[in-house]
Amino acid sequence: MNVLISGGAKNGKTGFAQDIAVRLSAGGRRWYVATMIPYDDEDRKRIKKHIDDRAGMGFITIEAGKNVGSVFEKAGGNGTFLVDSVTALLMNEMFSTHGGEADPEAVGRCIGGLSEILNKAGNAVFVTDYIYSDAFRYDEFTENYRASLARLDRYLAEKCDTVIELCAGSVIFHKGGLEL
């Protein structure tokens, strides 16, 4: 089963996704695909919190800030893969090179890597941030990123069996379902 979980920043998506991944794995192998590359102390604190939160849950962490499709080389097999997060993955792919300019090939690389996971994993849970719905118009750089993330999320929503939004403490199913 493939599950997409979206919602606002820092609203419990990761913990929710971890619980779903544990249930989907049914005691099998669990891989936590960490996509965030830390740039400052706030990022490092957030990563530490996520590591602490999943302690004892049986996840094996694979760092994949870029080239997310390579996780199978590192994992050496099947299992349940939790990708946290698509938002960070896109940022890393889009802006790590090109002298501050957005890499126009980033979305395609992300789709290719996410497709690998969708097609090879026994189960996959994807976490993303819903950052493209407000009416405010940002600069071209930010709007390009938001539109690119929306494109990735639409792709995953189409391919996943279940699509969930976390909003103000509510769990909203947009597609499919799960026993919660």
Q: What is the mean pLDDT of residues 20-49?
A: 92
- In degrees and rounded to multiples of 5, residue 126 shows phi and psi of -115, 135
Q: What integer pLDDT is reported at residue 49 of this predicted model?
A: 87
Structure letter (DSSP) for residue 135: S
Picking from 103, 114, 117, the residue whose alpha carbon sits closest to that of residue 148 is: 103
Picking from 2, 12, 47, 41, the residue whose alpha carbon sits closest to that of residue 171 is: 12
How do residues 85-123 score in pLDDT, each as one tens digit?
A: 999 999 999 987 756 688 889 999 999 999 999 999 999
Q: What integer pLDDT is reported at residue 134 of this predicted model?
A: 80
Q: What is the mean pLDDT of residues 157-165?
A: 98
Structure letter (DSSP) for residue 107: H
Alpha helices in 13-105 (DSSP H): 13-25, 41-53, 71-75, 86-95
Picking from 36, 14, 161, the residue whose alpha carbon sits closest to that of residue 92 is: 36
CATH level 3 topology of 2-132+152-172? Rossmann fold (3.40.50)
Burial class (CB in 10 A: 0-12, 13-18, 19+), 82: buried
* CA separation for the pair 162, 5 (Å, rounded): 8
Indicate the length of the chain as a whole number. 180
Q: What integer pLDDT is reported at residue 50 of this predicted model?
A: 84
Q: What integer pLDDT is reported at residue 6 of this predicted model?
A: 97
Q: What is the mean pLDDT of residues 20-26?
A: 95
Model-level pTM greater than 0.85?
yes
Q: What integer pLDDT is reported at residue 91 of this predicted model?
A: 93
* CA separation for the pair 10, 75 (Å, rounded): 28
How do residues 125-151 score in pLDDT, each as one tens digit?
A: 999 999 887 888 899 888 999 999 999
Per domain, the residue ranges of the chain are 2-132+152-172
Q: What integer pLDDT is reported at residue 180 of this predicted model?
A: 60
pLDDT above 90 (res 47): no
pLDDT averaged over the chain?
91
